[in-house]
Chain A
Amino acid sequence: MTLRLSKDVWAGAMLIAIGTAAIVIARNYPFGTPLRMGPGYFPIILGGLLTVFGLFILACGLHSSERISGSVSLRAFIILPLSLVLFGMLMEHGGFVPAIIVLIFGAATASAEFKFVEASLFSLGLTALSVVVFVWGLGLPYPLIADFH
């Protein structure tokens, strides 16, 4: 993956892609007339606007040399969304306790300063606190551990 192009080129390209996609999709909805605007009317205008903005930003970006700045933690970029997805799946099939433990411990591993023992203790403590506050205190109706029958 090369990031040699300036960040405006990337931003512009993304906006163009989303704008044109919106137009293409919205063409399937009745467009209507100005008097009775159909469900496709407003989205197509917006998609067009987005594409125009995107083209402008991209054109300016071709002459700019400003790269994407700051370091990016690829680790956090992958782990954090993943731990949320795991939380969602476990809430449906595993129960509140496993879901929240996996989320907290999983998220903790995204930090460069991750320490196994410390993070384990921390996730256990915070899970206990969450159970007390959310399930027993606020009465959220989630099984602590799901029944497998």
Chain B
Amino acid sequence: MDLFDNLIFGFGVALSLQNLLYCLIGVTVGTLIGVLPGIGPLSTIAILMPITYGVSPVGALIMLAGIYYGAQYGGSTTAILVNLPGETSAVVTCIDGYQMARQGRAGPALAIAAVGSFFAGTVGTLLIALFGPPLAEIALKFGSPEYFSLMLMGLVAAAVLAQGDMVKSLAMVVMGLLLGLVGSDVNTGVQRFSFGFAELSDGIGFVVVAVGVFAIGEIIANLGDKAERHVLAATVADLFPSKEDLKRCIGPILRGTGIGAFFGVLPGTGPAIASFASYMVEKKIAKDPSRFGKGAIEGVAGPESANNADAQCKFIPMLTLGLPASGVMALMLGALTIQGIQPGPEVMTTRPELFWGLIASMWIGNALLVILNLPMIGLWVKLLQVPYRFLFPAIMAFSAIGIYSVNNSSFEIYLTALFGVIGFVWMKLGCSPAPMLLGFVLGPMMEEHLRRAMLMSKGDPSVLVTRPISLGFIVVTVLILVVMIAPAVRKRRVDIAG
């Protein structure tokens, strides 16, 4: 009953008044930004990170995680009511959810989305509790060659599976790795890429890059788009789905949870991919596929469960291996490092309250979200009407105060402005900045592990393929590259020939 004891311990941590409050703040903020288009969990977590310095590590992690999965809930609300996905993960929900709303069935759609998400969240929490400890146990046996190969695999998989151009994503990973090297070299003290700025000798601040690229860069991009928003004045009457609705949704929720959990542990696949896969599956196995697109409740239940399961399971590689599987997880790792905790498999044994407290809080948070979302739906819809011209200066102000407060340094503000410009340019050139963040976080660790691996093997790089676990990671990396790149290259050739 080890698992049971650990979960009880976790709930003890998460149910302390302080941590409960952080959880509530997290999921409320998360829902809020999920509802508001134009600001996502990535930028919000980046902006709020400086505020968490004064908070205990558990509290900080609980709050940031709450923002992340809270945003998934909020995003589906706007998808259903306004046909506007607050988050990319809710794009699929728009298809049938909005149709349901137009038929006056917004209530059941919202309710089933919440129920599906809650179920998926519960399963996700259990999965982390079940598989986390054994995974960490294995990871404890890893040496530097294993870590290097694991990170290589994680980065390649994240870049290759991410949405958008694969080669550009790989290039952005390398760019991130390079950025991570700025500052003095740990082994020799040589200043690298610091261009004579003393402020750069400790490296570029993590928050600076994240806020610059994701908050500032995104605002510049948003102000260029002139999208109009029409809020469907749907009155949410009759919240409860009928018995018939519920019966139809059991299968999709179960399958969606499974699909989401599977995609969740894969690096690089955002919740959008999981929810899309779930939608396709439901449509394929439905008795009457023509109902899809016209307000089929299965088309809401499946994808909503999938994206929440995905969001929860993304924590597994982060918590057990110290490997971020997405941009948000890179931010979580950054938050841990800033708190002085070296992420990795040791965290589970040295700081058990962190791991189990976070897991328990996620379940509590999911329950809080159901309460927050269903009865208070009207309030969230009202928030949609806040014009962007008020929203973005406020975001700018909070970002700036947050960054300045880290080191009381104006230099970091200038650097943030620079990264905003750079981030915007990259976005316009079709280079997604999220893989860059992964590289940025892992860069210094990767170099360090490579150096140690080389010292161990007396300079023989074959150490990476002679140790079995490391070889396994390398083989998977190569396989991913071959499977994904071969068709892409062929397609490009065809494009060129045609």
Interface residues of A (CB under 8 A from B): 7-8, 10-11, 14-15, 18, 22, 25-26, 29-30, 33-39, 42-43, 46-47, 49-50, 53-54, 56-57, 60, 63-64, 68, 70-73, 75-77, 80-85, 87-89, 91-92, 100, 103-105, 107-108, 110-114, 119, 122-123, 126, 130, 134, 138, 140
Q: Is the CB of A130 within 8 A of B401?
A: yes
Q: With the chains together, A29 CA to B187 CA distance in Å?
A: 13
Distance to closest chain A CB from B401 (angstroms): 6
Q: Is the CB of B413 within 8 A of A126?
A: no
B429 within 8 A of A: yes
Contacts of A71 in B (CB 8 A): 224-226
Q: With the chains together, A87 CA to B225 CA distance in Å?
A: 26
Contacts of A53 in B (CB 8 A): 167-168, 170-171, 174
Within 8 A of A (CB), among B73-125: none
9 interchain pairs, CB-CB under 8 A: A35-B459, A50-B174, A84-B216, A84-B414, A85-B413, A88-B414, A103-B393, A107-B396, A134-B405
Within 8 A of A (CB), among B372-417: 387-390, 392-394, 396-397, 400-401, 404-405, 410-411, 413-414, 416-417
Q: Quick one: closest B residue to A108, CB to CB?
A: B393
B20 within 8 A of A: no
Q: Is the CB of A92 within 8 A of B393?
A: no
Contacts of B411 in A (CB 8 A): 88
Give the 5 A-B residue pairs with the shortest CB-CB distance, closest first.
A35-B459, A88-B413, A88-B410, A76-B223, A53-B171
Q: Quick one: closest B residue to A53, CB to CB?
A: B171
Q: Quick one: closest B residue to A101, CB to CB?
A: B397
Across the interface, B216 reaches (CB within 8 A) one of A22, A80, A126, namely: A80
Q: Is the CB of A113 within 8 A of B389?
A: yes
Q: With the chains together, A66 CA to B54 CA distance in Å?
A: 47
Interface residues of B (CB under 8 A from A): 51, 54, 165, 167-168, 170-171, 174-175, 177-178, 181, 185, 187-188, 190, 192-193, 216, 219-221, 223-226, 387-390, 392-394, 396-397, 400-401, 404-405, 410-411, 413-414, 416-418, 420-421, 424-425, 428-431, 447, 450-451, 454-455, 458-461, 492, 495-496
Q: Is the CB of A46 within 8 A of B387?
A: no
A130/B454 contact (C-beta < 8 A), A29-B192, A39-B185, A92-B410 known:
no
Given contacts A84-B396, A123-B393, A134-B405, could you give 17 more A-B pairs where the C-beta distance is less than 8 Å?
A: A18-B178, A36-B454, A43-B193, A56-B167, A60-B492, A73-B223, A76-B223, A77-B421, A81-B418, A81-B420, A82-B417, A85-B413, A88-B410, A103-B393, A104-B394, A111-B392, A119-B389
A11/B389 contact (C-beta < 8 A), A87-B413, A91-B404, A92-B410 known:
no
Q: With the chains together, A39 CA to B448 CA distance in Å?
A: 11
Across the interface, A100 reaches (CB within 8 A) one of B401, B421, B447, namely: B401
Q: Is the CB of B393 within 8 A of A104?
A: yes
Q: Quick one: closest A residue to B411, CB to CB?
A: A88
Which of A26, A46, A54, A114 counts the most chain B CB atoms within 10 A?
A: A46
Q: Is the CB of A84 within 8 A of B459?
A: no
Q: Is the CB of B387 within 8 A of A113?
A: yes
Q: Is the CB of B410 within 8 A of A15?
A: no
Which of B193, B389, B397, B416 counts the most chain A CB atoms within 10 A?
A: B397
Q: With the chains together, A77 CA to B424 CA distance in Å?
A: 8
Q: Is the CB of B428 within 8 A of A72?
A: yes
A11/B414 contact (C-beta < 8 A), A37-B454, A60-B492 known:
no
Distance to closest chain A CB from B108 (angstroms): 36
Q: Is the CB of B188 within 8 A of A22?
A: no
Q: With the chains together, A89 CA to B175 CA distance in Å?
A: 29
Contacts of A89 in B (CB 8 A): 410
Q: Is the CB of B401 within 8 A of A140?
A: yes
Distance to closest chain A CB from B433 (angstroms): 13
Distance to closest chain A CB from B480 (angstroms): 17
Q: Quick one: closest A residue to B397, CB to CB?
A: A104
Q: Is the CB of B459 within 8 A of A42?
A: no
Q: Is the CB of B220 within 8 A of A80?
A: yes
Distance to closest chain B CB from A57 (angstroms): 6
Q: Is the CB of A70 within 8 A of B396?
A: no
Q: Is the CB of B418 within 8 A of A11?
A: no
Q: With the chains together, A122 CA to B97 CA distance in Å?
A: 36
Q: With the chains together, A22 CA to B216 CA distance in Å?
A: 25
Q: Is the CB of A14 within 8 A of B429?
A: yes
Contacts of B187 in A (CB 8 A): 39
Q: Is the CB of B417 within 8 A of A103?
A: no
Q: Quick one: closest B residue to A13, CB to CB?
A: B429
A122/B414 contact (C-beta < 8 A), A39-B188, A43-B192, A80-B396 known:
no
Q: Is the CB of B220 within 8 A of A37?
A: no
A43/B178 contact (C-beta < 8 A), A38-B188, A85-B414 known:
yes
Distance to closest chain A CB from B60 (angstroms): 15
Q: With the chains together, A22 CA to B177 CA distance in Å?
A: 12
A87/B496 contact (C-beta < 8 A), A30-B188, A104-B393 known:
no
Q: With the chains together, A56 CA to B187 CA distance in Å?
A: 34
Q: Is the CB of B454 within 8 A of A34?
A: yes
Q: Quick one: closest B residue to A81, CB to CB?
A: B417
A11/B168 contact (C-beta < 8 A), A80-B220, A89-B410, A111-B392 known:
yes
Distance to closest chain A CB from B398 (angstroms): 8
Q: Is the CB of A111 within 8 A of B388?
A: yes
Q: With the chains together, A53 CA to B390 CA distance in Å?
A: 40
Contacts of B404 in A (CB 8 A): 87-88, 91
